[in-house]
A and B are shown apart, each in its own frame.
Chain A
Amino acid sequence: MKKILILGAGTAGTMMANHLQHEVDKKLWQIEIIDEKEEHHYQPGYLFLPFDIYAPEDIIKTIDEFIPKGVSLRKGKIDRIDPMSNNVLMADGQSIPYDILIVATGAKIAPEETEGMQGSEWQKSVFDFYTFEGSLALRNKLREWEGGNLVVHITEMPIKCPVAPLEFAFLADSFFKNKKMRDKVNITFVTPLSGAFTKPKATEALDHLLLEKDIHIESDFAIERVDNEHKVIIDYGGRQIPFDLLVTVPTNKGDELLERSNMGDDLNYVPTNKATLQSLNYNNVFVIGDASNVPASKAGSVAHFEAEILTENILRFIKNEPLKEDFDGHANCFIETGGGKALLIDFNYTHEPVEGTFPFPGVGPLRLLKESRMNHMGKLAFRWIYWNMLLKGTHIPFVSAQMQEAGKQY
């Protein structure tokens, strides 16, 4: 019996377990997935928790309920991968051999990378919302905060869901309007980029929305440290931005196990072929989702499109056929803009987000790069789709793994 071993039972790993369970010959192949946690979190929900839009129970389920029968789930901490001997070494000393390895260990925040970020003000006036604990602590803070300077900040790229910090700023604007205290809050969006987003046309649309919502933007800000005593963030050029409430997205890094395994780059992301999702260094190792270094967004939709293509490539690898170079960096993201509206963007490695219609060219019903209530409904519906379709590897009708150019205004 040969073994496909999946590391990480988050969005990407769980989808792969479900896809492969249907596709591989069970008489020849055993599938095993490893994770140390008990809970599966709907990570996009971390954005809504601080504003009391979602409650904790809306975004937490167990890992077990999404792992299909026939795939064995092992709970435990992984020490490292030994790709030379095709073994995964567990922290308890066990060694698990594999024939094919899928790395799906994700990315997480590393606030320790920035001086002072986890100082005396951490979770008092300095918060993250990329962890459940951070997001919940921020909810409790926002419930009683009386106003002042709210600074929404990105430390450095790449980060998971690169639009989430902008969405946070937009939702904060709505939240304080609803609480009739918007006049007591200054919102500043601080980014290391030169504008609101990484791509020109979307940046133009988003910069306009920031202006409309009276959110001030400070661009090209590369943070050096957080000064807890004076409550300011300072960049390498000496620029200072004062805050009463700092909501920061710390540096994101891949799992430390990849550093221990000597398989990661300087941010612990695994060097990966951006079209086939095969590791650049080991033929029988594949990488999916946030764990890879491919220049696509670190987002659930990307992992979803990758999973369809990676499944096919694993089947080809088993049959000794050449891999398909099919992954095009496709991402599809709703951007909450507050007031019950959202934008939708659809893009890939080579095509930036533009205006148009989705998923049916010329018809919609969703409009690209334009605010609408329909897009907001789409974002809310996505939670149901995530739990009931996405994780199970069910194909989402009309949405292809590769981006469609039709219906877009280039």
Chain B
Amino acid sequence: MEKEIAGKKINVNEEGYLLDFNQWDESIGEAIAKENNVEMTPRHWEVVKFLQGEHKNNVPLSIRKIGKSNVIDIKEFYALFPQGPLKISTKIAGIPKPASCL
């Protein structure tokens, strides 16, 4: 479905995750963050860029892996993106919601 984010028409799924990363830019990320009550700081952007890089390299994302990444520990990850950091940060980053393994 189409949703207007930061004044642009963006394709998202029913949970609000971007379907096409090419439509992403920082203003989109900023707007999604605001919707989720996250105020973006340089540190937030650092983490978001890291997640985008991992996704580009087809690395499956999990809280455990991010905690061991040397980029950020789990405690800080939660502090930056409270209540489900992986879900919220990937939405801001414009990448798919990580498939929670069965």
Contacts and interface: CB of A to CB of B under 8 A. Distances in A.
A277 interface: no
A312 interface: no
B56 interface: no
Contacts of B65: 266
A267 B62 CA distance: 12
B78 interface: yes
Contact of A194 (B74, B87, B102): B87
A333 to B, nearest CB: 10
Interface stretch (A33-41, A156-164, A385-393): A156-164
Contacts of A331: 102
Q: How large is the interface on A (under 10, 10 to 19, 20 to 34, 35 or more residues)?
A: 20 to 34
Interface in A155-186: 156-158, 162
A237 B75 CA distance: 7
A198 B78 CA distance: 21
A149 B74 CA distance: 28
Given A194-B84, A220-B84, A266-B64, A162 B74 contact: no
Contact of B99 (A266, A295, A298): A295
Most chain B CB within 10 A, of A193, A194, A222, A224, is at A222
A266 B68 contact: yes
Contacts of A43: none
Interface residues of B, number: 17
Interface in A282-321: 295-298
A162 B63 CA distance: 18
Contacts of B83: 220, 237
A157 B102 contact: yes
A222 B74 contact: yes
B102 A156 contact: no
Interface in B56-102: 62-65, 68, 74-75, 77-78, 82-84, 87, 99-102
B43 to A, nearest CB: 17
B101 A295 contact: yes
B82 A237 contact: yes
Contacts of A398: none
A290 B68 CA distance: 23
Contacts of A157: 100-102
Contacts of B87: 194, 220
Interface in A320-368: 331
Contacts of B101: 157-158, 198, 295
Nearest to B60: A295
Contact of B102 (A222, A224, A296): A296
A296 B102 CA distance: 6
Given A156-B63, A156-B64, A194-B87, A162 B75 contact: no
Contacts of B99: 295
B36 to A, nearest CB: 13
Nearest to A199: B102
A410 interface: no
A193 B68 CA distance: 20
A228 B75 CA distance: 20
Interface in A191-205: 192-194, 198
Given A156-B63, A194-B84, A266-B64, A224 B100 contact: no
Interface string A198-233: 100000000000000000000010101000000000
17 contacts: A158-B101, A162-B102, A192-B63, A193-B100, A194-B87, A198-B102, A220-B84, A222-B78, A236-B75, A236-B78, A237-B83, A266-B68, A267-B64, A295-B101, A295-B102, A297-B102, A331-B102
Given A157-B101, A162-B102, 5 more contacts: A157-B100, A222-B74, A237-B78, A266-B64, A295-B101
Interface of B: 62-65, 68, 74-75, 77-78, 82-84, 87, 99-102
